A = this chain, B = another copy of it.
Amino acid sequence: MTWRVHVRILPRAGLLDPQGQAVEHALAALRFPEASNVHVGKAVALDIAAPSAAEAEAKVRAMCDQLLANPVTEDYEIEVDVGGSA
């Protein structure tokens, strides 16, 4: 089975996020005052071959810990699309 997995990697809470700040200011200037607490990080999308969604997630977790996310400055969340394809 192949699973489409999405990883969202965001700067760890409390760390300065200058990019998020810049976007928040820009949105305000564009008259989107309703946006706040803006953060900008990375999105990774991948296909994972694995027997189950749980195993696909475990694999991607390992990838995040080893490569995709910076353990010192970033947090990540993993989403496995329901229903992989054979």
Binding site for B on A (CB under 8 A): 6, 8-10, 23-24, 26-27, 30, 32, 34-50, 59, 62-63, 66-68
CB–CB A35/B48 < 8 A: yes
Chain B residues with CB under 8 A of A49: 34, 36
Number of copies: 2
CB–CB A63/B32 < 8 A: yes
CB–CB A34/B48 < 8 A: yes
- A23-B67, A34-B48, A41-B43 known; 15 other A-B pairs, CB under 8 Å? A8-B43, A9-B43, A23-B44, A23-B68, A24-B46, A30-B63, A30-B66, A30-B67, A35-B46, A35-B47, A35-B48, A35-B63, A36-B46, A39-B44, A40-B43
